[in-house]
Structures are given as C-alpha cells and as structure tokens.
C-alpha cells in the first residue's frame, strides 16, 4: 500500500472537527477494544487531529505531526509508531527469524514463515480472513509490520503454502519515513 | 496500563533490535552505545570492541538469533546480512565520493541593459531543500528568486539582480556549516561590466 508514497501523493491537508474527532475515537475503540484505557493518552481531548488525504483514497490521521493511523476504506489501521506504543491491543502474529529480511523489504508473508517453530499463530479459533494483524518477529519486542490476512489463521496452519499475509505497512517504508514539516 | 516509550535508532530510525537488518549495523551500534548504553548492553552484551568486524557481527547474530530456524538457515541469513552491510557501505562511500567530486556553479548572466540574473546549479547533492533556499535568498537580497530547470534538466536557483559576490560568500558559509569546505565553488561571469569605474555600491 505504501510501496510508493511521496509528498506529491498528498492531495489535501485539513484539521478535523472536534465532533468528528470524537466519532473517530469511538470508532477506533470499537475496532480495538483494548485501546480504551489509553485512548485519551493517544489522542488527548484538546489535541488537534489532522487529516491528510492522499492518492488512492488513502487518508492519514495525524496528531502533533505524527501519523497515528490511516484508512483506505472504512477500516482504521494503526501506524507502526502507534503500535509500538501499545502493542497489546492488536491481533498479532509472529514470523520466524528467516522472514524478517524479506518483510522489511516489503514482501508479503508466506505461510511457512508463519508456521515454522520460531513463528507464532494464535490458537483456534484464530483470526478471520481479511482482518488486519500486527506482525512481530522471533526474539524481538517490537512489531515490524502490519498486514492483512489473505486466509484465516486456521487455513494458514492447514494449507501452509503461498501468501498468508498481505503487506500494508512495514518498518522502513515511505510511510514510516513520512514526516510533516 | 499506559503507553510505552519506544526508542528509535538515530541512524536507521528502526527500533534498535532491527538495526542488524538495515546494513548499517556498525553505525547503529555506535549510536546506541552513546545514547542508550543500557539498551546496547541488553542487545549486544559487553563485547570486545577490538574484535574483528566480521566476527563481531557474527557474535551479534548468534546472540540475537538463538532461534529455531536451524543452523544452516541461520548461517545463510548471517551471510546475507553481511553482504547487505558491505553493499550499504559501498553505496555510502560512492555517495560520499560523488558529493566530494561535485561542484557548485554560480553563474551570472546578463539580461537587458544593466540587468543580471544569477543562477546557482549543482546544489542538489547537498540535500538542501531548494525551494527553501530560494526563499532565503529572496528575503536576504530582497529580490525575486525561484527554482527552475536548466538546460541539462537539473534544478537550479535563479536570483534576479546582480548579487554574484554575496551569493558566493553565502554559499561558502553554507558549505562550511555543513562541513563540506572542500567542495569546489566555481563562478562564471558571462559578461563583464564594461566600465568597472561606474560600479555603484
């Protein structure tokens, strides 16, 4: 999603009304219920959320010049910096060490990288297809990418072949390096 | 429950545990040691500093990678990372060489009668925001100043008015600030003033 992303892709940038900001917050909490205790810390009531509309209908939401989350369609997806601040709140999968290199260069994650001994998938019932997951790595604390499941985690376990997670956002991609002046 | 403070590497901007995958590990380690010694010890342990680079990286890889993917794959991964690192270093060296070999050209061109413009090219290698610099020039010399493309399709800054000397001194000071004093600055004066005696200050 952010393979190519530059300042030229920004169409408009505007402040978000406080009422809209409130609905955004509730929406975020609805999507990730565990965020509730810290939501006021993430987006303080007095803060000004900015919306940056970009190419391909991508919208970034920033607070104090930091991209906190973005959306392409209806779903809000947290940015990695937000994930690092509070990693417990999101559904997580883990890849093995051999996969890190490829993930960091933006590849989709293949099933074997998710099922090998170093990797971790949630036990049944697991996550549905198309849900957004945080990708962690073996022996590392922080998340390194965010992706969308191309098949449910149970399927990944049983089929164990082909693309398992579609890459959305990873360490070192243009969104990671993105800063507002 | 509260938010977590995350340390990001000042060199590669990743969380420190991912530094080994960027190919800038050496510089990352130096940075981490200076800024967050506790994290450094946690990640890399107290290693012998005089150790050979390759050996050092090896040790780090082993320490970080007490993992399950098997020795063979682990070795391969380490080799790949090493390769990546040398590649990155080479690239950096090349860029540095390119920077040093480039030069800034300040050119004065005559327009009608006693009007001149000054064009500065070759600035792009310094990663300065051209537009911002143009703005500074405009306010500094109280003239029009813009960024445009020249004949070789490269960006240059065009300043209205005869400010060749001032620009030259400014560029020199700018380079000094950036620590690139050995970059050549060349001035070209396409049309000499007819009578230097009529010089107005």
Q: Is the pLDDT of residue A76 over 60?
A: yes
Domains and CATH numbers, chain B: 16-99 (no CATH), 102-198 (3.30.780.10)
Q: Flag whether residue B21 sits within 8 Å of chain A, measured between CB atoms.
A: yes
Confidence grade of residue A124 (pLDDT, cut at 50, 70, 90): low
Confidence grade of residue B177 (pLDDT, cut at 50, 70, 90): confident
Contact list in A for residue B19 (CB cut-off 8 A) is: none
Locate the chain B residue with the closest alpha carbon to A170: B14
Q: What percent of chain B has pLDDT over 70?
A: 70
Distance (Å, whole) CA A41 – CA B176: 43
| Per-residue model confidence (pLDDT) at position A52 | 87
Min Cα–Cα distance to chain A from B68, Å: 5
Domains and CATH numbers, chain A: 7-82 (3.10.400.20), 87-174 (3.10.400.20)
User: Residue B17 is encoded by which pair of tokens?
Assistant: 């545990």
Task: Rank A71-85, B48-62, B63-77 by mean pLDDT and report only the highest.
Answer: A71-85
User: Residue B153 is encoded by which pair of tokens?
Assistant: 């399709």
| Per-residue model confidence (pLDDT) at position B68 | 55
Q: What is the mean pLDDT of residues B13-38?
A: 79
Least reliable range by pLDDT among A95-104, A153-162, B191-200: B191-200
Q: What is the mean pLDDT of residues A128-142?
A: 82
User: Residue B197 is encoded by which pair of tokens?
Assistant: 């005696």
* Contact assessment for residue B157 and residue B163, using Cβ atoms and an 8 Å cutoff: no
Least reliable range by pLDDT among A148-152, B13-17, B80-84, B183-187: B183-187
Candidates B21, B75, B78, partner chain A, best to mutate (most A CBs within 10 A): B21
Confidence grade of residue B1 (pLDDT, cut at 50, 70, 90): low
| Per-residue model confidence (pLDDT) at position A9 | 79
Distance (Å, whole) CA B80 – CA B93: 20
pLDDT digits (tens, 9 = 90+) for B35-60: 888 877 777 765 444 344 444 455 45
Q: Is the pLDDT of residue A165 over 80?
A: yes
Q: Apex CA B136: angle with CA B132 and CA B137, to 5°?
A: 115
Cross-chain residue pair A104–B81, CB shorter than 8 Å: no
Cross-chain residue pair B3–A171, CB shorter than 8 Å: no
Min Cα–Cα distance to chain A from B192, Å: 42
| Per-residue model confidence (pLDDT) at position B52 | 42
DSSP β-ladder status, A92-95 and A132-137: parallel
Q: Is the pLDDT of residue B175 over 60?
A: yes
* Contact assessment for residue A153 and residue A122, using Cβ atoms and an 8 Å cutoff: yes
Q: Is the pLDDT of residue A66 over 70?
A: yes
| Per-residue model confidence (pLDDT) at position B55 | 46
Averaged pLDDT score across all residues of chain B: 72
Least reliable range by pLDDT among A105-109, B18-22, B104-108, B180-184: B180-184
| DSSP secondary structure string for all residues of A66-131 | EEEEEESSS-EEE-HHHHHH-GGGS-EEEE-HHHHHHHHTTPPEEHHHHHSTT-B-PPTT---TT-
* Contact assessment for residue A75 and residue A95, using Cβ atoms and an 8 Å cutoff: no
Interface size A-B, in CB pairs within 8 Å, comes to: 74
DSSP B192: -
Confidence grade of residue A30 (pLDDT, cut at 50, 70, 90): confident
Locate the chain B residue with the closest alpha carbon to A117: B68
pLDDT digits (tens, 9 = 90+) for B77-128: 778 778 877 888 888 888 777 776 777 777 777 777 778 888 887 777 666 7
Q: Flag whether residue B65 sits within 8 Å of chain A, measured between CB atoms.
A: yes
Q: What is the mean pLDDT of residues A2-26?
A: 84
Task: Rank A153-167, B2-16, B109-123 by mean pLDDT and report only the highest.
Answer: A153-167
| Per-residue model confidence (pLDDT) at position B126 | 67
Contact list in A for residue B5 (CB cut-off 8 A) is: 85
């Amino acid at each position: 999603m952010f393979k190519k992303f530059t300042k030229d892709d920004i169409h408009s940038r505007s402040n978000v009304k406080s009422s809209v900001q409130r609905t955004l917050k509730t929406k975020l909490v609805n999507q990730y219920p565990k965020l509730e205790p810290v939501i006021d810390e993430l987006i303080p009531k007095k803060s000004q959320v900015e919306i940056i509309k970009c190419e391909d209908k991508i919208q970034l939401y920033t607070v104090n010049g930091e991209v906190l989350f973005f959306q392409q369609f209806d779903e809000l997806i947290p940015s990695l910096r937000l994930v690092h601040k509070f990693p417990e709140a999101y559904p997580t999968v883990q890849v093995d060490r051999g996969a890190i290199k490829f993930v960091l260069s933006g590849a989709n994650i293949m099933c074997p990288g998710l099922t090998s001994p170093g990797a971790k998938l949630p036990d049944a019932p697991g996550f549905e297809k198309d849900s957004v997951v945080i990708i962690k790595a073996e022996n590392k604390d922080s998340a390194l990418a965010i992706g969308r499941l191309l098949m449910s985690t149970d399927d990944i376990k049983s089929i164990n072949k082909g693309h398992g997670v579609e890459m959305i956002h990873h360490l070192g991609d243009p969104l990671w390096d993105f800063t507002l002046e | 429950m509260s938010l977590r403070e995350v340390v990001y590497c000042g060199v590669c901007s990743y969380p420190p545990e991912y530094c080994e995958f960027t190919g800038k590990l050496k510089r990352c380690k130096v940075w981490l040691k200076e800024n967050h010694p506790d994290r450094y010890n946690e990640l890399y342990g107290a290693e012998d500093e005089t150790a050979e680079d390759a050996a050092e990286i090896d040790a780090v890889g082993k320490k970080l990678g007490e993992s399950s993917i098997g020795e063979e794959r682990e070795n391969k991964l380490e080799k790949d990372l090493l390769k990546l690192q040398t590649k990155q270093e080479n690239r950096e060296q090349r860029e540095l060489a390119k920077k040093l070999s480039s030069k800034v050209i300040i050119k004065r061109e005559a327009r009608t009668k006693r009007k001149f413009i000054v064009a500065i090219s070759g600035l792009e290698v310094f990663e300065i925001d051209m537009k911002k610099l143009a703005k500074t020039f405009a306010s500094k010399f109280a003239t029009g100043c813009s960024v445009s493309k020249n004949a070789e399709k490269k960006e240059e800054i065009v300043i209205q008015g005869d400010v060749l000397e001032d620009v030259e001194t400014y560029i020199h000071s700018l380079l000094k600030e950036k620590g690139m004093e050995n970059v050549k600055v060349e001035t070209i004066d396409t049309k000499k003033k007819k009578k230097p005696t009529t010089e107005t200050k």
